[in-house]
Structure 1
Amino acid sequence: MSVPPRPAALLCALTAAAALLPTAAPAAASARATATLAFAACPDSVPAPPAPDRVECGRLTVPLDRKHPSGPRIEIAVSRVPASGTPAERRGILLVNPGGPGGSGLPYAVTKRAKLPASVRRAYDVIGFDPRGVGHSTPVGCGAMGGLFSAPGPDPVPVGPRAERSYLDSQHRLADDCAAGAGTAALPYLSTEQTAYDMDAIRAALGEPRTSFLGVSYGTYLGAAYAAHFPHRVGRMVLDSVVGPWDWYDFDVLQARALLRARDTFFAWTAAHPDRFGLGNSSYAVRRSYLDARQGLAARPVDGFGPAEFDRAVYRALGRTERWTGLADGLRTYLTDRSVAGLRPAAAFDSPESRNYEAANRIVKCADGPGPTPREIVADIRRIRRLDPQPVLTGLEASACAYWHHRPGSRTPLGGPAAPPVLLVASAHDPVTPIEGARRLREVLPGSRLVVLDDDYSHGVFASRGNGCVDGTVAAYLVDGVVPEADTRCAGPGLPTPGKP
């Protein structure tokens, strides 16, 4: 894969051609003009689908600011895996987004499509795209991001006034680095709302009357924004693992609390298998082992792996129960021989892709609506620490918005009564996007239905958890337009059986 550029200012790159992708026909200055997409080979970052399917890629030029179509332009990278069924089976296009903000959607058209039910693969051209600022779509960079990529990083859970001031200072420096790296003038336009307009530009360029959409995690927020601006262009929309209609900072705080519940469940699950993991036979004992590991790494990091890296590993593992065995094994390995091999992720956190992801994540969140005040951040951290003295605060990404160089006056609009019925999907105990988000978003999407996977503790449900009830309900909606008469509850898998050592 080519290394995404990290320009000193994004605006310097707005009119430059993006490497590796064929150019679409230039769009006219008029907002009413429609560009077309020319497809050809994909960059190396896009895997080949199983034969006889094929994937093809193109790029589309769109205005940086949709209100000024004759102004600076950026390029959106698009991928397509054509439907495998007959013309009579075809239902149009299914845009997909993997989440984030900051997730690359270009390869997702291939990887997610491979997991979709066969009827959906036969019915839809699956369309992936890198949102503006991500991957091959004029990628942004924020440099050091206030020391985010330092290894080992400072302890991300501030205790006491001095540590709290240091935490706020790092968020201030992160905001300054993003303003310098992306360019202050570009910050307002790297938003979910602008990306929703890019989605409709993709639809128009493909000559389709409607956009069907599958969004996961942040993709649900993006889908709800598209429904707010283009309700009459929505075909069938599935929003899986739903971000609620809150300000991003408020969502981050809600997530931090949900992670505490998930971690307590993990402690109890680990304690139920003392012979397998050797971390204790009670939740209290396992928690003590967990704290011993974290405190040991805080006192003496191992090969650049300290408390910040530990918390990132825990954050990632708590989101999918199939990762719990690896986390418990990693804790035991560290406590027995001081090795972090079982805790360290396979991909480097400071890779070019990760740096782009983390930059786009903060820039999008801070462009989507008002940020918190420093006083609110400190007060919320103290409240969370009263719930548990050692929380996981890795997801408090919107804290940097307190010092952002562009402050939006309003929040990105989501949903609306004009949108057709949408299918919302949620895991009952998802700690990354708690189910409260799906219930709240349904309130602004009248007529929508909620499909819940009970007794499940993971993030990402449809064509992900292997649940026939969920997958069948969603496939019937996407292919035949069958909207359940009422909300649907599906029996979940429960907690996992530990994998072998």
Structure 2
Amino acid sequence: MPSPHPRPPRTPLSPLRRTARRTAVVCLVVAAALPAAPPRTATAAAPPLTFGACPDSVPAPAPPAHVECGTLAVPLDHDHPDGRRIAIAVSRVRATGTPAERRGVLLVNPGGPGGSGLGYAVTKRAKLPESVRRGYDIIGFDPRGTGRSAPADCGPMGGLFDAPGPDPVPRDRPAERAHLRELRQLAADCAHGVGAALPHLSTEQTAHDMDALRAALGEPTLGFLGVSYGSYLGAAYAAAHPHRVGRMVLDSVVGPWDWHDFDVRQARALLRQRAVLFDWLARDPARHGLGDTPQAVRASYARVRSGLAAHPAGGFGPAEFDRAVYRALGRTERWAGLGDGLRRYLRDGSADGLRPAEDFAGPASRTYEAANRTVKCADGPGPRPARVLADIRRLRRLDPLPLLTGLEASACAYWARQPERRTPLGSPQAPPVLLVASAHDPVTPVEGAHALRRTLPGSRLITLDDDYSHGVFASRGNRCVDDAVADYLVDGAVPADDVRCAGAGLP
């Protein structure tokens, strides 16, 4: 079926882009016309959005683009639409192309759960291919529980923000019992702080918010670009509103598992990535000064961590160290900085080179961490405490120095209101979507993309080979990926088969 929008004149393709098309993309035009079947929830009566000035925290796009913001009132519980309502913060940067080039709206989500998306409409748009910026109004929003949309407040979260925090890796039975007590207190703090909204700050309810936003914008279908957790959110929208799905790109894909299972898979992938990091640092011992073999680098790493555990440096202990390592492993451009920080600590005992620029205990981070646990624990039944300890022990057997920073759904073992079912993901009724993954992403391992695509029949996967970072489209600067995704978003061109693009390798 032809596209409902006239195709704009195209500029001649570069040789690289012509090659990518010939070898990777045999196109099938996807219909964007609205099917007759209605969505699950009644959103047609949503009032139109009124846009105005944005908060100071939202950056201004480069001229001639302009960003504007508004709020959308939605039910706290979409199953009871006449009950309490909450406000969802929304931003928009209009398409800069001609009317003939316009393709609709592209809602963007940066991940999390817990990530604020209000300013993301500007920052991500700046990286998008020009044809996408010309064709789409880019829409950002703070999902419920985050940013300016009924932000979750879990108070002290069981001491999560204490600095220095206790060692996050329990190594004996007393430490394991203390770890479970901290998780129990975190869950209790969220139940107290979030209150009656606790079960409703979920991915499924956010998916219904997205459809209410689509209706308020007057659009028959919703274009969507979701990164990391945003891929899970997009799959939830496809399950709840398959006939409203427009062109959907799911980048750095979260697999369709329960959250604790995903967290454990991520922890294993992070250990594989850390081994790659040790090997990389050992290749240039003169530059990094941590040893000339992976084993020697690992020994240096262990000395730093044990030193911080024994004598935290200015509030920076093993918990803060593990968070810094977790952050660095997800993007290879951060590896040199981590190596420098390790070397500086071994040289003069200063942890300053290891501290991330962002304030972990600041208001934005507190909201993020609260929303992260609240959403994960509202999305499905949590693990039993015995499962939490069993998985920690397995990770310790795999490596005596595991990274447990990402085991966020462990708190769901003590959640006050355990949901009875998991969030539905994907639908055979949705049109084909495009999934994008890095072959060695440790944050969202590539097997998650292969698993999720089975819930979205007809979809295609673009894999960036020889790449080790999280976030691919309009992020890694790879023309093969960016051109294929832009062709899909602008022309509806679904590759005839999966696409593999050559990555740049390690830095």
Superposed, which structure 2 residues align to 1:334-345 within 5 Å? 334-345=345-356
Superposed, which structure 2 residues align to 1:6-405 within 5 Å? 33-183=45-195, 185-405=196-416
Higher relative contact order (CA 8 A, sep 6+): 2
Counterpart residue identity of residue 117, structure 2: G
Distance 2:98 2:426 in 1: 33
Distance 2:238 2:462 in 1: 19
Q: Deviations over 1:85-105 (max 9, x none)?
A: 000000000000000000000
Q: 1:216 touches 1:239 (CA, 8 Å); kept in 2? A: yes
| Structure 1 position 33, deviation (Å) | 2.0
Q: 2:89 touches 2:141 (CA, 8 Å); kept in 1? A: yes
| Structure 1 position 146, deviation (Å) | 0.2
Q: 2:468 touches 2:506 (CA, 8 Å); kept in 1? A: yes
Superposed, which structure 2 residues align to 1:470-481 within 5 Å? 470-481=481-492
Distance 1:205 1:428 in 2: 38
Paired residue secondary structure (1:342): helix
Q: 1:374 touches 1:402 (CA, 8 Å); kept in 2? A: yes
| Structure 1 position 191, deviation (Å) | 0.2
Counterpart residue identity of residue 361, structure 2: D
> Does structure 1 residue 495 correspond to structure 2 residue 495?
no
Superposed, which structure 2 residues align to 1:407-422 within 5 Å? 407-422=418-433
Q: 2:43 touches 2:212 (CA, 8 Å); kept in 1? A: no
Paired residue secondary structure (1:310): helix
Paired residue secondary structure (1:61): strand
Distance 2:202 2:374 in 1: 8
| Structure 1 position 32, deviation (Å) | 5.1
Counterpart residue identity of residue 228, structure 1: A
Counterpart residue identity of residue 36, structure 1: P
Q: 1:367 touches 1:408 (CA, 8 Å); kept in 2? A: yes
Paired residue secondary structure (1:471): helix
| Structure 1 position 31, deviation (Å) | 6.0
Counterpart residue identity of residue 151, structure 1: A
Unaligned runs of 5+ in 1: 1-29, 497-501
Q: 2:43 touches 2:211 (CA, 8 Å); kept in 1? A: no
Distance 1:59 1:348 in 2: 27
| Structure 1 position 495, deviation (Å) | 0.4
Q: 1:187 touches 1:363 (CA, 8 Å); kept in 2? A: yes
Partner of 2:10: none
Q: Deviations over 1:28-71 (max 9, x none)?
A: xx865221100000001100001111000000000000011110
Counterpart residue identity of residue 144, structure 2: R
| Structure 1 position 244, deviation (Å) | 0.4
Distance 1:459 1:297 in 2: 28
Distance 2:375 2:434 in 1: 25
Q: 1:31 touches 1:69 (CA, 8 Å); kept in 2? A: no
Distance 1:290 1:330 in 2: 10
Partner of 2:39: none
Q: 2:145 touches 2:371 (CA, 8 Å); kept in 1? A: yes
| Structure 1 position 399, deviation (Å) | 0.3
Paired residue secondary structure (2:360): coil
Partner of 2:449: 438
Runs of 4+ in 1 over 4 A off after TM superposition: none
Q: Deviations over 1:208-245 (max 9, x none)?
A: 00100000000000000000011110000000000000
TM-score (norm 1): 0.93
| Structure 1 position 416, deviation (Å) | 1.2
Q: 1:94 touches 1:212 (CA, 8 Å); kept in 2? A: yes
Distance 1:142 1:454 in 2: 40
Paired residue secondary structure (2:381): coil
Percent identity, aligned pairs only?
73
Paired residue secondary structure (1:103): coil
Rate the CA distance shift 1:175–1:283 in 2: closer, same or farther, 3 A. same
Paired residue secondary structure (1:411): coil
Paired residue secondary structure (1:127): strand
Counterpart residue identity of residue 346, structure 2: L
Distance 1:210 1:194 in 2: 18
Paired residue secondary structure (1:149): coil
Distance 1:313 1:331 in 2: 11
Q: 2:462 aligns with which of 451, 454, 462?
A: 451
Distance 1:273 1:168 in 2: 41
Q: 1:297 touches 1:306 (CA, 8 Å); kept in 2? A: yes
Q: Deviations over 1:315-368 (max 9, x none)?
A: 000000000000000000011001111100111110000000000000000000
| Structure 1 position 148, deviation (Å) | 0.1
Rate the CA distance shift 1:31–1:98 in 2: closer, same or farther, 3 A. closer
Paired residue secondary structure (1:459): coil
Paired residue secondary structure (2:406): coil
TM-score (norm 2): 0.91
Unaligned runs of 5+ in 2: 1-41
Q: 2:44 touches 2:215 (CA, 8 Å); kept in 1? A: no
Paired residue secondary structure (2:190): helix
Paired residue secondary structure (2:224): strand
Q: Deviations over 1:263-299 (max 9, x none)?
A: 0000000001111101000000000000000000000
Counterpart residue identity of residue 235, structure 2: A
Counterpart residue identity of residue 59, structure 2: P
Distance 2:81 2:172 in 1: 50
